[in-house]
Amino acid sequence: MRAVRYDGTGLYLSDIPAPVAGPGQVVLEVTAAGLCHSDLAVMSRPPEALPYKLPITLGHEAVGVVVDVGAGISGLAEGDTVAVYGPHGCGACRTCRSGAENHCPHARWAGILPPGLGADGALADYLLVPHSRHLVPLRGLDPVRAAPLTDAGLTSYHAVRSALPRLPPDGTALLIGIGGLGHLAVQILRALSSAQIIAVDMAADKRELALRCGADTALPSTDTVPDQVRDLTEGVGADVVFDFVASDATLRMAARSLRPGGEISIVGVGEGRLPVAVNLVPLGAVVRTPYWGTQSDLVDVLALAREGRITVEVEEYALEETPLAYERLARGNVRGRAVVNP
Ligand code: NAD
Ligand code: ZN
Ligand code: ZN
């Protein structure tokens, strides 16, 4: 089968054996795979700094059709269309049993790694899913627009849901970075809250996308953002700030725009530092570093899409065009999510 592999030096299209489902496993024919900025972060690190061996097939946002069902699985049949829950845990511990496999404390030490982020991923004709519990039925959703929901949508939903207790109905949310995740976070906030939404991006077309997604205001990414946020909040500041970039500059912007007792949700995996001490962040502030989402979060995100409350803006590419799509993503030219359709 064809697969987009990364070996520590670059991306290449390769012909590798198609996976076969062992007991309890499932093989999908991939119908859509989304490209995430985290893949660029992986490719920018020295290979020895990665917690797994290369080469691997990239792609951790996946939707597919079941083509091979391993022994011992019930409730799943060939031809079913499913989304893949990516942050696999051990499946047995208290955290996993609560549905929060994204926080499984055993996964890493047990060598359990997400598809595309350690295990072979979805940028291929076929994907091996190690357990049927990771699959959620699409139930009519368009595969291309559903694939990004498994990470861009799921991570954004999880971050928003976690922050909602600090966001009153007449409060203000500030979102920095309106890319694959950010444009969905704006829509999820709009669906779940009546709070004012202020979006920040350095690109004019992303600010325009933010407004179309339901933001009340979209600001260029400059040093004056904290003052502008204060002007828009009667001098108070934002209740919650979501940083989908996490550079030194955006984290400083986040801290300076926040109200006392507010929450900074650092979703981006940029290399920035947020100095946390009294007088460096507002008093009573909470800093959170959400990671992906829970299984029930994924069910919720798919439901929001089915209800038409959130829509993924997509650019479509053929599998061979994956390197080109990543280049566009690295240059900040992708609007919404780039989705590869093998
Ligand atoms: P993306 O490239 O699609 O979007 C990034 C956006 O940020 C772009 O619109 C870009 O114009 C904007 N931007 C860049 N620098 C900026 C600045 N200084 N000020 C304002 N806007 C700026 O990326 P994405 O796929 O949406 O991912 C966003 C971040 O989230 C990445 O760091 C990614 O690695 C991370 N991520 C984290 C998790 C998690 O579980 N925590 C999951 C997925 C992605
Ligand atoms: Zn991702
Ligand atoms: Zn576990």
Residues 199 and 162 in one domain: yes
Ligand 1 lining (C-beta closer than 6 Å): 36-38, 41, 151-152, 155, 176-182, 200-203, 206, 221, 244-245, 247, 249-250, 267-270, 290-292, 329, 332, 334
pLDDT tens, residue by residue, 147-170: 999 999 999 999 999 999 999 999
Chain position carrying tokens 């069902």? 69
* Domain shared by 79 and 140, yes or no: yes
Is the pLDDT assigned to residue 320 strictly greater than 90? yes
Complex confidence, ipTM: 0.99
pLDDT of residue 342: 87
127, 27 contact by CB (below 8 A):
yes
Please identify every residue whose CB atom is under 5 Å from ligand 2, which is an ion. Answer: 36, 38, 151
- What is the mean predicted confidence (pLDDT) over 115-133? 98
pLDDT tens digit sequence for 241-269: 999 999 999 999 999 999 999 999 999 99
Please give the pLDDT value at position 146. 98
State whether 277 and 316 are in the same domain: no
DSSP string, 222-275: STTHHHHHHHTTTT--EEEEEESS--HHHHHHHHHHEEEEEEEEE----S----
DSSP state of 151: T
DSSP symbol at 120? -
Q: Which helix (H) or strand (E) holds 330?
A: helix 322-330
Residues 241, 133 share a domain? no
Contact indicator for 127, 63 with CB cutoff of 8 Å: no
pTM score, whole prediction: 0.98
Q: How far apart are CA 208 and CA 234, in angstroms?
A: 25
Q: Is the separation of the CB atoms in 159 and 186 below 8 Å? A: no
Q: Look at the block and give the residue holding tokens 């205001």.
A: 217
For residues 26 and 76, give the distance between their C-alpha atoms in angstroms, rounded to a whole number. Answer: 9
Provide the 10 A C-beta neighbour count for residue 128.
20
Looking at the structure, tell me whether residues 58 and 180 fall in a common domain.
no
Q: Which domain holds residue 54?
A: 2-151+293-340
pLDDT of residue 279 exceeding 90: no
Say how many domains are in the chain. 2
Q: Is the pLDDT of residue 231 over 90?
A: yes
Among 309, 301, 333, smallest CA distance to 136 is for: 301
- Asked if residue 182 and residue 264 are part of one domain, the reply reads yes
